[in-house]
Amino acid sequence: MNLQVGKSNGRRYLAIVQGYRDPVTKKVRHKTVKSLGYLDELAKEYPDPIAHFKSVVETMNKKAVLEKQPVAISLDPEETLTESQANRKNIGYAALSKLYHELGLNTFFYNNSRSFKSEFNTNSIMKLLVFSRVLAPASKKKTYEEKDRYFENTEFSLDDVYRCLTQVVTFKDGLKLHLHRQMKNKFGRSTDLVYYDVTNYYFETDRQDEMKRKGVSKEHRPDPIVQMGLLMDTKGIPVSYDLFPGNTNDCETLMPILDKVKKDYEIGRTIVVADKGVNTADNIAFILARGDGYVYSQTVRGANKELKDYVLDESGYRQIGDDYKIKSRLYPREIAVSNVKGGRSKVRIDEKQVVFYSADYDRKAKADREPVLLKALDLVNSPSRYNKATSYGAAKYVKNLVFDPDTGESMTTKQKPVFDEKKLREEEKFDGYYAIVTSEWKKSDEEIIEIYRGLWRIEEAFKVTKSDLEARPVYLSRQDHIQAHFLICFVALVIARLLALCLGNKYSIPRIVESLNKSSGSRLEENWYVFDHADEVTKAITETLGVDLSRKYLKLGDIKKILGATKKT
Protein backbone atom coordinates (compact mmCIF):
# COMPACT_ATOMS: atom_id res chain seq x y z
CA MET A 1 0.00 0.00 0.00
CA ASN A 2 1.08 3.56 -0.56
CA LEU A 3 -0.23 7.11 -0.29
CA GLN A 4 -1.60 8.66 -3.47
CA VAL A 5 -1.82 12.43 -3.97
CA GLY A 6 -4.33 13.24 -6.71
CA LYS A 7 -6.28 16.20 -8.07
CA SER A 8 -10.03 16.53 -8.55
CA ASN A 9 -11.98 19.71 -9.42
CA GLY A 10 -8.82 21.70 -8.96
CA ARG A 11 -8.34 20.44 -5.39
CA ARG A 12 -5.68 17.99 -4.22
CA TYR A 13 -6.84 14.89 -2.37
CA LEU A 14 -5.23 11.98 -0.52
CA ALA A 15 -6.03 8.26 -0.75
CA ILE A 16 -4.45 5.01 0.40
CA VAL A 17 -4.10 2.75 -2.65
CA GLN A 18 -2.77 -0.69 -3.43
CA GLY A 19 -0.91 -1.27 -6.69
CA TYR A 20 -0.90 -4.38 -8.84
CA ARG A 21 0.15 -5.26 -12.39
CA ASP A 22 -2.60 -5.99 -14.89
CA PRO A 23 -1.80 -9.44 -16.40
CA VAL A 24 -3.15 -8.43 -19.83
CA THR A 25 -1.83 -4.87 -20.31
CA LYS A 26 1.24 -5.44 -18.10
CA LYS A 27 0.64 -1.93 -16.72
CA VAL A 28 0.40 -1.01 -13.05
CA ARG A 29 -3.14 -0.37 -11.82
CA HIS A 30 -4.33 0.87 -8.43
CA LYS A 31 -7.16 -0.10 -6.13
CA THR A 32 -8.35 2.45 -3.56
CA VAL A 33 -8.15 1.01 -0.06
CA LYS A 34 -9.35 4.17 1.70
CA SER A 35 -10.22 7.72 0.57
CA LEU A 36 -8.81 10.26 3.06
CA GLY A 37 -10.26 13.52 1.77
CA TYR A 38 -9.10 16.83 0.32
CA LEU A 39 -5.70 18.08 1.35
CA ASP A 40 -6.90 21.56 2.33
CA GLU A 41 -9.51 20.07 4.68
CA LEU A 42 -7.01 17.62 6.18
CA ALA A 43 -4.53 20.45 6.78
CA LYS A 44 -6.94 21.90 9.36
CA GLU A 45 -6.52 18.72 11.43
CA TYR A 46 -2.89 17.75 10.68
CA PRO A 47 0.08 20.13 10.40
CA ASP A 48 1.53 18.01 7.55
CA PRO A 49 -1.18 15.63 6.21
CA ILE A 50 1.10 14.01 3.62
CA ALA A 51 3.82 13.15 6.16
CA HIS A 52 1.20 12.00 8.66
CA PHE A 53 -0.57 9.59 6.29
CA LYS A 54 2.70 8.28 4.84
CA SER A 55 3.49 7.21 8.39
CA VAL A 56 0.00 5.68 8.70
CA VAL A 57 0.50 3.70 5.47
CA GLU A 58 3.91 2.47 6.64
CA THR A 59 2.35 1.28 9.91
CA MET A 60 -0.47 -0.44 8.01
CA ASN A 61 2.04 -2.27 5.78
CA LYS A 62 4.07 -3.44 8.77
CA LYS A 63 0.96 -4.55 10.61
CA ALA A 64 -0.31 -6.45 7.57
CA VAL A 65 2.99 -8.33 7.34
CA LEU A 66 3.23 -9.10 11.04
CA GLU A 67 -0.40 -9.95 11.71
CA LYS A 68 -1.15 -11.43 8.29
CA GLN A 69 -4.50 -9.71 8.32
CA PRO A 70 -7.25 -10.94 5.97
CA VAL A 71 -7.22 -9.22 2.59
CA ALA A 72 -10.36 -7.87 0.92
CA ILE A 73 -10.49 -8.52 -2.83
CA SER A 74 -13.07 -6.97 -5.12
CA LEU A 75 -14.49 -9.39 -7.69
CA ASP A 76 -16.50 -8.35 -10.72
CA PRO A 77 -19.08 -11.14 -11.34
CA GLU A 78 -19.54 -9.87 -14.93
CA GLU A 79 -15.86 -10.00 -15.88
CA THR A 80 -15.06 -12.38 -18.76
CA LEU A 81 -11.88 -14.23 -19.70
CA THR A 82 -9.73 -13.07 -22.59
CA GLU A 83 -8.03 -15.48 -24.99
CA SER A 84 -4.57 -14.07 -24.41
CA GLN A 85 -4.82 -14.10 -20.64
CA ALA A 86 -2.59 -16.74 -18.99
CA ASN A 87 -4.83 -17.17 -15.97
CA ARG A 88 -3.48 -20.54 -14.81
CA LYS A 89 0.17 -20.64 -13.77
CA ASN A 90 2.48 -23.24 -12.29
CA ILE A 91 4.55 -22.77 -9.14
CA GLY A 92 5.70 -26.39 -8.77
CA TYR A 93 8.64 -25.71 -11.08
CA ALA A 94 10.19 -23.77 -8.19
CA ALA A 95 11.58 -27.12 -6.99
CA LEU A 96 13.31 -27.60 -10.35
CA SER A 97 14.52 -23.99 -10.25
CA LYS A 98 16.13 -24.64 -6.87
CA LEU A 99 18.28 -27.48 -8.26
CA TYR A 100 18.88 -25.68 -11.56
CA HIS A 101 20.57 -22.88 -9.65
CA GLU A 102 22.23 -25.23 -7.14
CA LEU A 103 23.95 -26.77 -10.18
CA GLY A 104 25.06 -23.32 -11.31
CA LEU A 105 23.39 -23.64 -14.69
CA ASN A 106 22.33 -19.98 -14.72
CA THR A 107 25.93 -18.87 -14.29
CA PHE A 108 27.17 -21.38 -16.85
CA PHE A 109 24.77 -20.21 -19.56
CA TYR A 110 25.47 -16.56 -18.80
CA ASN A 111 29.25 -16.99 -19.04
CA ASN A 112 29.24 -19.19 -22.12
CA SER A 113 26.74 -17.17 -24.14
CA ARG A 114 28.36 -13.75 -23.70
CA SER A 115 30.67 -14.17 -26.69
CA PHE A 116 27.67 -14.67 -29.00
CA LYS A 117 26.29 -11.20 -28.15
CA SER A 118 22.78 -12.51 -28.77
CA GLU A 119 19.74 -10.33 -28.34
CA PHE A 120 17.99 -13.12 -26.45
CA ASN A 121 18.72 -14.37 -22.93
CA THR A 122 20.15 -17.90 -23.27
CA ASN A 123 19.48 -18.73 -19.63
CA SER A 124 15.80 -17.73 -19.86
CA ILE A 125 15.28 -19.94 -22.90
CA MET A 126 17.13 -22.90 -21.41
CA LYS A 127 15.09 -22.67 -18.21
CA LEU A 128 11.90 -22.83 -20.25
CA LEU A 129 13.14 -25.81 -22.30
CA VAL A 130 14.51 -27.76 -19.31
CA PHE A 131 11.58 -27.15 -16.96
CA SER A 132 9.06 -27.95 -19.70
CA ARG A 133 10.95 -31.10 -20.68
CA VAL A 134 10.35 -32.34 -17.13
CA LEU A 135 6.82 -31.05 -16.54
CA ALA A 136 5.20 -30.75 -19.98
CA PRO A 137 7.36 -32.35 -22.68
CA ALA A 138 6.37 -31.26 -26.16
CA SER A 139 7.80 -29.89 -29.38
CA LYS A 140 9.87 -26.71 -29.15
CA LYS A 141 7.04 -24.80 -30.84
CA LYS A 142 4.42 -26.12 -28.41
CA THR A 143 6.70 -25.39 -25.47
CA TYR A 144 7.12 -21.82 -26.66
CA GLU A 145 3.38 -21.36 -27.10
CA GLU A 146 2.81 -22.42 -23.48
CA LYS A 147 5.66 -20.40 -21.99
CA ASP A 148 3.31 -18.18 -19.96
CA ARG A 149 2.41 -21.08 -17.68
CA TYR A 150 5.48 -20.10 -15.60
CA PHE A 151 6.23 -16.95 -13.60
CA GLU A 152 9.35 -16.27 -15.69
CA ASN A 153 10.74 -13.75 -18.13
CA THR A 154 9.73 -14.99 -21.58
CA GLU A 155 10.56 -11.97 -23.70
CA PHE A 156 11.97 -13.94 -26.62
CA SER A 157 10.61 -15.28 -29.89
CA LEU A 158 10.26 -18.79 -31.29
CA ASP A 159 13.09 -17.99 -33.69
CA ASP A 160 15.21 -17.11 -30.66
CA VAL A 161 14.49 -20.57 -29.25
CA TYR A 162 15.85 -22.24 -32.39
CA ARG A 163 18.84 -19.90 -32.45
CA CYS A 164 19.49 -20.87 -28.83
CA LEU A 165 19.55 -24.56 -29.79
CA THR A 166 22.30 -23.85 -32.29
CA GLN A 167 24.20 -21.85 -29.70
CA VAL A 168 24.16 -24.31 -26.77
CA VAL A 169 25.51 -27.17 -28.91
CA THR A 170 28.81 -25.31 -29.20
CA PHE A 171 29.41 -25.73 -25.45
CA LYS A 172 27.73 -29.14 -25.05
CA ASP A 173 30.86 -30.88 -23.72
CA GLY A 174 31.58 -28.01 -21.35
CA LEU A 175 28.04 -28.22 -19.97
CA LYS A 176 28.31 -31.96 -19.27
CA LEU A 177 31.66 -31.43 -17.54
CA HIS A 178 30.21 -28.52 -15.52
CA LEU A 179 27.34 -30.70 -14.30
CA HIS A 180 29.76 -33.45 -13.29
CA ARG A 181 31.92 -31.05 -11.27
CA GLN A 182 28.88 -29.56 -9.56
CA MET A 183 27.58 -33.04 -8.68
CA LYS A 184 30.99 -33.97 -7.30
CA ASN A 185 31.53 -30.79 -5.27
CA LYS A 186 28.00 -30.17 -3.98
CA PHE A 187 26.40 -33.61 -3.85
CA GLY A 188 29.35 -35.91 -3.16
CA ARG A 189 29.35 -37.86 -6.40
CA SER A 190 31.56 -40.97 -6.46
CA THR A 191 32.71 -42.47 -9.76
CA ASP A 192 34.50 -45.52 -8.38
CA LEU A 193 31.59 -47.47 -9.82
CA VAL A 194 29.72 -46.40 -12.94
CA TYR A 195 26.91 -48.02 -14.89
CA TYR A 196 26.76 -48.02 -18.67
CA ASP A 197 24.04 -48.88 -21.13
CA VAL A 198 22.94 -48.13 -24.66
CA THR A 199 19.53 -47.38 -26.11
CA ASN A 200 18.20 -45.74 -29.25
CA TYR A 201 15.58 -43.18 -30.22
CA TYR A 202 13.59 -43.13 -33.42
CA PHE A 203 12.76 -40.27 -35.78
CA GLU A 204 9.44 -39.55 -37.45
CA THR A 205 10.99 -39.63 -40.92
CA ASP A 206 12.19 -42.11 -43.53
CA ARG A 207 15.11 -39.94 -44.59
CA GLN A 208 18.54 -41.05 -43.36
CA ASP A 209 21.73 -39.03 -42.91
CA GLU A 210 25.05 -39.54 -41.16
CA MET A 211 23.39 -39.56 -37.71
CA LYS A 212 19.87 -40.81 -38.42
CA ARG A 213 20.48 -44.37 -39.64
CA LYS A 214 18.43 -47.53 -39.71
CA GLY A 215 19.73 -50.05 -37.21
CA VAL A 216 18.64 -52.56 -34.59
CA SER A 217 15.81 -50.68 -32.89
CA LYS A 218 15.12 -51.49 -29.24
CA GLU A 219 11.44 -50.95 -30.07
CA HIS A 220 11.57 -53.03 -33.25
CA ARG A 221 10.62 -50.07 -35.42
CA PRO A 222 11.67 -49.60 -39.06
CA ASP A 223 12.38 -45.84 -38.62
CA PRO A 224 15.86 -44.32 -38.63
CA ILE A 225 17.36 -44.18 -35.14
CA VAL A 226 20.18 -42.59 -33.18
CA GLN A 227 22.16 -44.53 -30.57
CA MET A 228 22.79 -43.10 -27.11
CA GLY A 229 25.36 -44.40 -24.65
CA LEU A 230 24.84 -43.25 -21.07
CA LEU A 231 27.08 -43.38 -17.99
CA MET A 232 25.46 -43.18 -14.56
CA ASP A 233 26.78 -43.05 -10.99
CA THR A 234 25.70 -45.24 -8.09
CA LYS A 235 23.15 -42.67 -6.93
CA GLY A 236 21.30 -42.95 -10.22
CA ILE A 237 22.43 -39.54 -11.55
CA PRO A 238 23.71 -39.43 -15.16
CA VAL A 239 27.44 -38.69 -15.54
CA SER A 240 27.76 -38.24 -19.29
CA TYR A 241 26.38 -39.43 -22.60
CA ASP A 242 27.14 -39.42 -26.29
CA LEU A 243 25.24 -39.96 -29.52
CA PHE A 244 26.18 -42.35 -32.31
CA PRO A 245 24.76 -43.13 -35.76
CA GLY A 246 21.82 -45.51 -35.57
CA ASN A 247 23.69 -48.36 -37.26
CA THR A 248 26.45 -48.40 -34.59
CA ASN A 249 26.68 -51.64 -32.62
CA ASP A 250 26.17 -51.28 -28.85
CA CYS A 251 29.61 -52.70 -28.15
CA GLU A 252 31.30 -49.97 -30.22
CA THR A 253 29.99 -47.11 -28.07
CA LEU A 254 31.69 -47.77 -24.73
CA MET A 255 35.31 -46.99 -25.54
CA PRO A 256 34.76 -43.48 -27.01
CA ILE A 257 32.66 -42.35 -24.04
CA LEU A 258 34.80 -43.93 -21.35
CA ASP A 259 38.03 -42.66 -22.90
CA LYS A 260 36.72 -39.09 -22.99
CA VAL A 261 35.26 -39.18 -19.49
CA LYS A 262 38.38 -40.68 -17.94
CA LYS A 263 40.50 -38.01 -19.58
CA ASP A 264 38.34 -34.91 -19.09
CA TYR A 265 36.52 -35.67 -15.84
CA GLU A 266 39.62 -36.50 -13.78
CA ILE A 267 38.20 -39.85 -12.74
CA GLY A 268 40.36 -42.47 -10.99
CA ARG A 269 39.99 -46.24 -11.14
CA THR A 270 36.49 -47.15 -12.20
CA ILE A 271 34.47 -50.35 -12.31
CA VAL A 272 32.20 -50.35 -15.34
CA VAL A 273 28.92 -52.23 -14.96
CA ALA A 274 27.05 -53.13 -18.15
CA ASP A 275 24.94 -55.81 -19.78
CA LYS A 276 26.02 -58.40 -22.33
CA GLY A 277 25.61 -55.97 -25.24
CA VAL A 278 29.02 -54.39 -24.50
CA ASN A 279 30.67 -57.57 -23.20
CA THR A 280 33.32 -57.97 -25.91
CA ALA A 281 37.01 -58.85 -25.90
CA ASP A 282 38.01 -55.38 -27.11
CA ASN A 283 36.01 -53.61 -24.39
CA ILE A 284 37.43 -55.87 -21.68
CA ALA A 285 40.99 -55.32 -22.91
CA PHE A 286 40.41 -51.55 -23.14
CA ILE A 287 39.17 -51.40 -19.55
CA LEU A 288 41.91 -53.57 -18.10
CA ALA A 289 44.67 -51.72 -19.99
CA ARG A 290 43.70 -48.55 -18.12
CA GLY A 291 43.72 -50.25 -14.74
CA ASP A 292 39.93 -50.23 -14.48
CA GLY A 293 37.54 -53.07 -13.77
CA TYR A 294 34.30 -54.49 -15.12
CA VAL A 295 31.16 -56.33 -14.08
CA TYR A 296 29.33 -57.65 -17.14
CA SER A 297 26.40 -59.95 -17.61
CA GLN A 298 27.21 -63.02 -19.68
CA THR A 299 24.73 -64.79 -21.92
CA VAL A 300 24.14 -68.36 -20.78
CA ARG A 301 22.16 -69.74 -23.72
CA GLY A 302 24.66 -68.26 -26.17
CA ALA A 303 27.75 -69.28 -24.18
CA ASN A 304 30.23 -71.99 -25.14
CA LYS A 305 29.61 -75.61 -24.11
CA GLU A 306 32.10 -75.44 -21.24
CA LEU A 307 30.24 -72.60 -19.49
CA LYS A 308 26.83 -74.15 -20.19
CA ASP A 309 27.98 -77.41 -18.59
CA TYR A 310 29.31 -75.49 -15.58
CA VAL A 311 25.98 -73.69 -15.16
CA LEU A 312 23.93 -76.91 -15.27
CA ASP A 313 26.34 -78.88 -13.08
CA GLU A 314 24.74 -78.99 -9.61
CA SER A 315 28.06 -79.36 -7.81
CA GLY A 316 29.41 -76.26 -6.11
CA TYR A 317 26.12 -74.40 -5.70
CA ARG A 318 25.31 -72.87 -2.32
CA GLN A 319 21.61 -73.20 -1.64
CA ILE A 320 20.11 -70.04 -0.16
CA GLY A 321 16.54 -70.74 0.87
CA ASP A 322 14.31 -72.89 -1.33
CA ASP A 323 14.36 -70.71 -4.43
CA TYR A 324 17.90 -69.44 -4.83
CA LYS A 325 21.37 -70.92 -5.35
CA ILE A 326 24.76 -69.46 -6.25
CA LYS A 327 28.31 -70.49 -7.10
CA SER A 328 31.43 -68.95 -8.61
CA ARG A 329 34.89 -69.77 -9.86
CA LEU A 330 38.10 -68.03 -10.88
CA TYR A 331 38.53 -68.79 -14.55
CA PRO A 332 41.53 -67.99 -16.78
CA ARG A 333 40.54 -67.61 -20.40
CA GLU A 334 41.89 -66.33 -23.69
CA ILE A 335 40.20 -63.50 -25.54
CA ALA A 336 40.89 -62.39 -29.11
CA VAL A 337 41.63 -58.65 -29.14
CA SER A 338 41.89 -56.41 -32.22
CA ASN A 339 45.46 -55.36 -33.02
CA VAL A 340 47.02 -52.52 -35.02
CA LYS A 341 47.45 -54.74 -38.07
CA GLY A 342 43.72 -55.28 -38.35
CA GLY A 343 43.87 -58.82 -37.08
CA ARG A 344 43.31 -60.46 -33.71
CA SER A 345 45.77 -61.23 -30.94
CA LYS A 346 45.09 -63.67 -28.12
CA VAL A 347 45.30 -62.26 -24.60
CA ARG A 348 44.97 -64.24 -21.38
CA ILE A 349 42.81 -62.74 -18.63
CA ASP A 350 41.81 -63.95 -15.19
CA GLU A 351 38.20 -63.30 -14.29
CA LYS A 352 35.62 -64.42 -11.82
CA GLN A 353 32.45 -66.05 -13.09
CA VAL A 354 29.41 -65.83 -10.82
CA VAL A 355 26.39 -67.99 -11.63
CA PHE A 356 23.09 -68.04 -9.79
CA TYR A 357 19.63 -69.51 -10.16
CA SER A 358 16.43 -67.82 -9.07
CA ALA A 359 13.03 -69.49 -9.06
CA ASP A 360 11.47 -66.04 -9.60
CA TYR A 361 13.61 -65.55 -12.73
CA ASP A 362 12.60 -69.02 -13.86
CA ARG A 363 8.89 -68.25 -13.58
CA LYS A 364 9.37 -64.86 -15.22
CA ALA A 365 11.24 -66.38 -18.18
CA LYS A 366 8.42 -68.85 -18.78
CA ALA A 367 5.75 -66.18 -18.41
CA ASP A 368 7.58 -63.86 -20.82
CA ARG A 369 7.91 -66.69 -23.35
CA GLU A 370 4.27 -67.73 -23.21
CA PRO A 371 2.84 -65.11 -25.62
CA VAL A 372 5.75 -65.70 -28.00
CA LEU A 373 4.98 -69.43 -28.06
CA LEU A 374 1.32 -68.74 -28.79
CA LYS A 375 2.39 -66.52 -31.65
CA ALA A 376 4.75 -69.24 -32.92
CA LEU A 377 1.95 -71.80 -32.95
CA ASP A 378 -0.27 -69.40 -34.88
CA LEU A 379 2.64 -68.77 -37.24
CA VAL A 380 2.86 -72.51 -37.93
CA ASN A 381 -0.86 -72.71 -38.73
CA SER A 382 -1.18 -69.45 -40.66
CA PRO A 383 2.25 -68.32 -41.96
CA SER A 384 0.68 -66.06 -44.62
CA ARG A 385 -0.65 -63.78 -41.85
CA TYR A 386 2.91 -62.81 -40.87
CA ASN A 387 5.96 -61.18 -42.37
CA LYS A 388 9.53 -60.97 -41.13
CA ALA A 389 8.78 -57.94 -38.93
CA THR A 390 5.53 -59.15 -37.37
CA SER A 391 6.92 -62.61 -36.65
CA TYR A 392 9.74 -61.13 -34.58
CA GLY A 393 10.58 -63.31 -31.56
CA ALA A 394 8.34 -66.19 -32.59
CA ALA A 395 10.11 -67.20 -35.81
CA LYS A 396 12.99 -68.86 -33.94
CA TYR A 397 10.59 -71.53 -32.68
CA VAL A 398 9.42 -72.41 -36.19
CA LYS A 399 11.36 -74.62 -38.64
CA ASN A 400 11.04 -74.44 -42.43
CA LEU A 401 9.96 -70.79 -42.31
CA VAL A 402 11.26 -68.71 -45.23
CA PHE A 403 10.80 -64.98 -45.88
CA ASP A 404 11.20 -63.13 -49.16
CA PRO A 405 14.48 -61.14 -48.84
CA ASP A 406 12.97 -58.17 -50.73
CA THR A 407 9.44 -57.90 -49.36
CA GLY A 408 9.81 -59.66 -46.01
CA GLU A 409 6.65 -61.70 -46.72
CA SER A 410 6.51 -65.40 -45.84
CA MET A 411 7.14 -67.77 -48.76
CA THR A 412 5.56 -71.13 -49.50
CA THR A 413 8.05 -74.00 -49.64
CA LYS A 414 7.81 -77.75 -50.09
CA GLN A 415 8.29 -78.29 -46.38
CA LYS A 416 5.50 -76.99 -44.16
CA PRO A 417 6.46 -74.87 -41.13
CA VAL A 418 6.60 -76.91 -37.92
CA PHE A 419 7.03 -75.98 -34.28
CA ASP A 420 10.62 -76.53 -33.07
CA GLU A 421 10.08 -78.47 -29.84
CA LYS A 422 13.79 -79.22 -29.48
CA LYS A 423 14.65 -75.52 -29.57
CA LEU A 424 12.13 -74.83 -26.81
CA ARG A 425 13.40 -77.63 -24.54
CA GLU A 426 17.00 -76.45 -24.97
CA GLU A 427 16.07 -72.90 -23.95
CA GLU A 428 13.97 -74.02 -20.98
CA LYS A 429 16.98 -75.77 -19.43
CA PHE A 430 18.53 -72.38 -18.71
CA ASP A 431 15.43 -70.61 -17.40
CA GLY A 432 16.23 -68.89 -14.11
CA TYR A 433 20.02 -69.03 -14.56
CA TYR A 434 22.12 -65.89 -14.78
CA ALA A 435 25.87 -65.41 -15.25
CA ILE A 436 28.11 -62.46 -14.45
CA VAL A 437 31.80 -62.11 -15.37
CA THR A 438 34.07 -59.68 -13.54
CA SER A 439 37.63 -58.55 -13.04
CA GLU A 440 36.88 -57.94 -9.34
CA TRP A 441 37.74 -61.43 -8.13
CA LYS A 442 38.39 -60.28 -4.55
CA LYS A 443 34.77 -59.24 -4.07
CA SER A 444 32.30 -61.80 -2.75
CA ASP A 445 29.62 -63.37 -4.95
CA GLU A 446 26.93 -61.40 -3.15
CA GLU A 447 28.81 -58.10 -3.64
CA ILE A 448 29.17 -58.75 -7.38
CA ILE A 449 25.48 -59.55 -7.77
CA GLU A 450 24.49 -56.48 -5.75
CA ILE A 451 26.73 -54.28 -7.90
CA TYR A 452 25.21 -55.67 -11.08
CA ARG A 453 21.66 -55.23 -9.82
CA GLY A 454 22.29 -51.49 -9.67
CA LEU A 455 22.09 -51.51 -13.47
CA TRP A 456 18.30 -51.25 -13.18
CA ARG A 457 18.72 -47.55 -12.40
CA ILE A 458 20.12 -46.81 -15.83
CA GLU A 459 17.39 -48.89 -17.46
CA GLU A 460 14.87 -46.84 -15.49
CA ALA A 461 16.61 -43.65 -16.67
CA PHE A 462 16.09 -44.65 -20.29
CA LYS A 463 12.46 -45.39 -19.52
CA VAL A 464 12.09 -41.94 -17.95
CA THR A 465 13.67 -40.17 -20.94
CA LYS A 466 11.50 -42.05 -23.41
CA SER A 467 8.20 -42.03 -21.52
CA ASP A 468 8.18 -39.18 -19.02
CA LEU A 469 10.52 -36.73 -20.77
CA GLU A 470 9.25 -37.87 -24.19
CA ALA A 471 12.68 -37.70 -25.80
CA ARG A 472 11.31 -39.66 -28.73
CA PRO A 473 10.06 -39.63 -31.39
CA VAL A 474 12.41 -36.89 -32.54
CA TYR A 475 10.90 -34.41 -35.01
CA LEU A 476 13.97 -32.20 -35.51
CA SER A 477 16.02 -32.56 -38.67
CA ARG A 478 19.08 -30.32 -38.29
CA GLN A 479 22.08 -32.00 -36.68
CA ASP A 480 22.73 -29.15 -34.25
CA HIS A 481 19.08 -29.07 -33.17
CA ILE A 482 19.07 -32.85 -32.64
CA GLN A 483 22.21 -32.59 -30.51
CA ALA A 484 20.63 -29.73 -28.52
CA HIS A 485 17.42 -31.72 -28.00
CA PHE A 486 19.25 -34.60 -26.36
CA LEU A 487 21.40 -32.20 -24.34
CA ILE A 488 18.22 -30.63 -22.93
CA CYS A 489 16.86 -34.12 -22.17
CA PHE A 490 20.13 -34.96 -20.38
CA VAL A 491 20.01 -31.83 -18.20
CA ALA A 492 16.32 -32.44 -17.45
CA LEU A 493 17.09 -36.05 -16.47
CA VAL A 494 19.92 -34.94 -14.15
CA ILE A 495 17.61 -32.47 -12.38
CA ALA A 496 14.69 -34.92 -12.18
CA ARG A 497 16.87 -37.71 -10.76
CA LEU A 498 18.58 -35.30 -8.36
CA LEU A 499 15.19 -34.13 -7.09
CA ALA A 500 14.13 -37.73 -6.49
CA LEU A 501 17.42 -38.31 -4.64
CA CYS A 502 16.94 -35.18 -2.48
CA LEU A 503 13.52 -36.55 -1.49
CA GLY A 504 15.13 -39.78 -0.33
CA ASN A 505 14.07 -41.75 -3.44
CA LYS A 506 10.66 -42.18 -1.80
CA TYR A 507 8.79 -41.09 -4.91
CA SER A 508 9.11 -42.05 -8.55
CA ILE A 509 9.81 -39.36 -11.12
CA PRO A 510 6.30 -39.72 -12.65
CA ARG A 511 4.81 -39.22 -9.18
CA ILE A 512 6.94 -36.12 -8.55
CA VAL A 513 6.13 -34.67 -11.98
CA GLU A 514 2.42 -35.23 -11.43
CA SER A 515 2.56 -33.42 -8.10
CA LEU A 516 4.58 -30.49 -9.46
CA ASN A 517 2.20 -30.07 -12.38
CA LYS A 518 -0.78 -29.96 -10.02
CA SER A 519 0.95 -27.25 -8.00
CA SER A 520 -0.64 -24.56 -10.10
CA GLY A 521 -2.84 -21.60 -9.30
CA SER A 522 -5.40 -19.29 -10.84
CA ARG A 523 -5.30 -15.54 -10.71
CA LEU A 524 -8.12 -13.95 -8.72
CA GLU A 525 -7.79 -10.18 -8.82
CA GLU A 526 -5.18 -7.56 -8.08
CA ASN A 527 -2.32 -10.05 -8.55
CA TRP A 528 -3.62 -12.51 -6.01
CA TYR A 529 -3.43 -16.21 -6.91
CA VAL A 530 -5.18 -19.17 -5.34
CA PHE A 531 -3.41 -22.56 -5.36
CA ASP A 532 -5.40 -25.74 -4.97
CA HIS A 533 -3.06 -28.70 -4.56
CA ALA A 534 -1.00 -30.18 -1.72
CA ASP A 535 0.19 -33.72 -1.11
CA GLU A 536 3.05 -35.56 0.58
CA VAL A 537 5.40 -34.75 -2.30
CA THR A 538 4.86 -30.98 -2.05
CA LYS A 539 5.18 -31.26 1.72
CA ALA A 540 8.49 -33.12 1.35
CA ILE A 541 9.76 -30.48 -1.10
CA THR A 542 8.81 -27.69 1.31
CA GLU A 543 10.55 -29.41 4.22
CA THR A 544 13.60 -30.77 2.37
CA LEU A 545 14.42 -28.09 -0.19
CA GLY A 546 12.97 -25.11 1.65
CA VAL A 547 10.76 -24.28 -1.36
CA ASP A 548 7.42 -23.28 0.13
CA LEU A 549 4.62 -24.97 -1.83
CA SER A 550 2.20 -24.92 1.11
CA ARG A 551 0.52 -21.53 0.65
CA LYS A 552 -3.05 -21.41 -0.66
CA TYR A 553 -3.16 -17.67 -1.37
CA LEU A 554 -0.15 -15.79 -2.70
CA LYS A 555 0.33 -12.33 -4.08
CA LEU A 556 2.52 -11.99 -7.17
CA GLY A 557 5.20 -10.28 -5.09
CA ASP A 558 5.29 -13.22 -2.66
CA ILE A 559 5.49 -15.68 -5.55
CA LYS A 560 8.47 -13.81 -6.93
CA LYS A 561 10.10 -13.94 -3.49
CA ILE A 562 9.66 -17.74 -3.38
CA LEU A 563 11.14 -18.07 -6.87
CA GLY A 564 13.85 -15.57 -6.08
CA ALA A 565 14.91 -17.62 -3.06
CA THR A 566 15.48 -20.64 -5.35
CA LYS A 567 18.04 -18.63 -7.28
CA LYS A 568 20.25 -17.99 -4.26
CA THR A 569 22.96 -20.61 -3.84
Out of 33-47, 163-177, 369-383, pick the least confident: 33-47
Inside any domain, residue 19:
yes
Round to whole Å and give the CA distance between 138 and 12. 55
Round to whole Å and give the CA distance between 155 and 540. 33
Inside any domain, residue 223:
no
Q: What is the pLDDT of residue 89?
A: 92
Inside any domain, residue 191:
no
Round to whole Å and give the CA distance between 147 and 128. 7
What angle separates helix 158-169 from helix 172-187, to the nearest 10 degrees? 80
Q: What is the pLDDT of residue 57?
A: 86
Round to whole Å and give the CA distance between 357 and 540. 40
Domain final residue pick, 422, 439, 456: 439
Altogether, the residues listed in the chain come to a count of: 569
Helices (H), 270-402: 281-289, 305-312, 359-381
Environment class of residue 93 by beta-carbon count within 10 Å: exposed (0-12), middle (13-18) or buried (19+)?
buried
Round to whole Å and give the CA distance between 201 and 230. 13
What are the φ/ψ torsions at residue 447 (nearest 5 degrees)?
A: -65, -45
User: pLDDT tens, 239-292?
Assistant: 999 999 888 998 899 999 999 998 898 888 899 999 998 999 999 999 999 899
Of the ranges 5-14, 163-172, 338-347, the best mean pLDDT one: 163-172
Instruction: Tell me how crowded residue 465 is: count the other CB atoms within 10 A of its CB.
Output: 26
Q: What is the pLDDT of residue 503?
A: 95
Instruction: Tell me how crowded residue 286 is: count the other CB atoms within 10 A of its CB.
Output: 19
Q: What is the pLDDT of residue 373?
A: 94
User: pLDDT tens, 348-366?
Assistant: 999 999 999 999 999 999 9
Report which DSSP code applies to 152: S
Q: What is the pLDDT of residue 490?
A: 94
What's the total number of domains in the chain?
2
User: pLDDT tens, 95-135?
Assistant: 999 999 999 999 999 999 999 888 899 999 999 999 999 99
Q: For the chain, give the percent of residues with pLDDT over 90.
A: 51
Pairing mode, strands 410-411 and 418-419: unpaired
Helices (H), 335-406: 359-381
pTM of the model: 0.79
Domain that holds residue 386: 299-439
Domain final residue pick, 399, 422, 439: 439
Inside any domain, residue 214:
no
Inside any domain, residue 514:
no
63, pLDDT greater than 90:
no
What are the φ/ψ torsions at residue 433 (nearest 5 degrees)?
A: -95, 145
Out of 191-195, 404-408, 476-480, 542-546, pick the least confident: 476-480
With beta carbons less than 8 A apart as the criterion, state whether 111 and 168 touch: no
Inside any domain, residue 468:
no
Inside any domain, residue 42:
yes
Cα angle for residues 396, 402, 407 (degrees, 5° grid): 115
Provide mean pLDDT across the span 303-308: 92
pLDDT band at 320 (very low <50, low <70, confident <90, very high): very high
Q: What is the pLDDT of residue 358?
A: 94
Round to whole Å and give the CA distance between 349 and 331. 8
Round to whole Å and give the CA distance between 123 and 146. 18
Better pLDDT: 175 or 269: 175
What angle separates helix 509-518 from helix 122-135, to the nearest 10 degrees? 110
Domain final residue pick, 34, 67, 100: 67
pLDDT band at 65 (very low <50, low <70, confident <90, very high): low
